[in-house]
Structure 1
């Protein structure tokens, strides 16, 4: 059972997911720039706008964590799970995430930041 209020846990998780998303976007931008697209700039612009938005939100989350004396650290990772340490106002909690869930949530965020409707 966590002692971290839902709102604060959501901000900690934002600080967990957004760096993953940023890494994906930056790698994809390079792939687009190196790809054989006839016209690359619209795709690059979309990804760059998403990168700017992610960086802005990550900065907001980081500032909030510092202000509220919260920390996030990856402790260990294996093929199936990743464990994180959440430090909330001096109290440490360990949270384990199923790696496919991390990937799926990162994909959801990617769709949000790229403004893609997944309902088809």
Structure 2
């Protein structure tokens, strides 16, 4: 699989795609490692520059997939189709104590 050369910062590149099996019942992927710390783990010190870089990255990323790209796995479609499952999952993580304000999550 080839990298997407038009992307500005380095991104992980898929190396292997795996299919579900009896040993691991989910699709899996192995990618290249990108050294460094995630951008969301530190403060934004140059907000305008960061916003411009992010906009350029998202613009480059938002392109049609190449013909040889693997097909989606049933994702996408109207958000209303996912509302029941979302409500169940939100209730679960709230019950586990991971979400303290489920109404704020719903508002987003």
Provide the TM-score with structure 1 as the length reference: 0.27
Structure (1 or 2) with the larger CA radius of gyration: 2
Q: Which has the higher helix share?
A: 1
TM-score by length of 2: 0.29
